[in-house]
Copies of this chain bind each other. A is one copy, B any other.
Amino acid sequence: MIVHLKTTIGHDEAKRLAQTHQAILTHNTQWHTGFILTLSSKVKELPADLTQYAEDYVVLDTDIQFASRSYQDQKAEVRIAEDLVIGGEDNSTWLMTGPCSVESKAQIETIAALCKTHDVRIIRGGCYKPRTSPYSFQGLGLEGLQILREVADANDLKVITEVRDASHVQDVIEHADIIQIGAKAMYDHGILRACGNQSKPVLLKRGFNSTLQEFVQAAEFILSLGNPNVILCERGIRTFEKATRFTLDLCGVSWLKEHCNLPIVVDPSHAIGYRFGVADLSRASFAMGIDGLLIECHPNPSEAKSDAAQQINQEMFSELAASLRKMAPGIGRRLK
């Protein structure tokens, strides 16, 4: 249950009420000008002693509360820059591209130039790549973050990059425009808390083992701390099928569109894990009416230090971008 307190109620009183009811105390004017209490969704009736403090309240079915269409039906807008808003109701889909791992400044400059050619505004690249084996490339770390920031600024691009564990979350928050929480870190409450306690936009990737319910509940951690700027990203789930690396869950995207108010981005590259399907899956995702597409592109995929099989090259990216532009009017979207 989400309770909007009367605007006359100050922070101390709100805090006291939160403690009494084991509620989470939130404040964000996008939702309500006063303070907000969130109780467990199991609470179905407004507690009697809250009646005098409550302006209004919403009873929710599950612990998807702030993110629920039942709380706020229109899709949230996440503002990255004055003219770069992901989500909302204006039918824009934003392209984001870049390599799996930041490997060198030259590499990032090449991709930045590609972005400029295709009017792509957001560049991606991973700096922390602690992969499943200790015996492979683990990323450039802070040096990578600095490269991204420098090249992006020089080209008027925005940076999205991934945090993988709580030990480097502050560095990512500092350098990124959009903080990407990796699929393997979706349950990391050290990260979720750090992201909730600041206001930069967060792109939360669905854990490949996570139900849709758990996925949006992880977003609720960030939202309930007062940061409304959360974007959901579907990137494939783990199933019995191993011919492709993961299974892109577009049924899940439908479910998210129906039940949640957060913007949705799809990452087809990690889902399939092979170059051959990236273009088709990008078009399929675009046709779903999503808010963004995150596509891995590398100047020279065969020499990539990670995920070599799934990254497309610049030529393939150019063809893909052109085909998406061509299909945009027919599906009533603008590609940005």
Contact = CB atoms under 8 A, between A and B. Distances in A.
Contacts of A237: 239-241, 247
Contact of A39 (B41, B135, B209, B258): B135
Interface of A: 24, 38-41, 63, 65, 130, 132-136, 164-168, 184-185, 187-193, 207-214, 217-218, 220-221, 224, 236-244, 246-255, 257-258, 271-272, 274, 276-277, 280-281, 283-289, 323, 326-331
A254 B272 contact: yes
Interface core residue of A65, A133, A280, A286 (most chain B CB under 10 Å)? A133
Contacts of A238: 209, 240
A239 B247 contact: yes
A134 B207 contact: no
Contacts of A165: 165-166, 188-191
A187 B328 CA distance: 39
B244 A247 contact: no
A185 B130 CA distance: 13
B277 A287 contact: no
B252 A280 contact: no
Contacts of A327: 287, 327, 330-331
A281 to B, nearest CB: 6
Nearest to A284: B284
A239 B242 contact: no
Contacts of A242: 211, 242
Contact of A288 (B249, B280, B323): B280
27 contacts: A40-B133, A65-B135, A130-B187, A130-B189, A132-B218, A133-B217, A135-B224, A165-B166, A184-B188, A185-B188, A188-B188, A208-B209, A237-B240, A240-B240, A243-B252, A244-B254, A250-B250, A251-B272, A254-B274, A255-B277, A257-B277, A280-B287, A280-B289, A283-B331, A323-B331, A329-B330, A330-B331
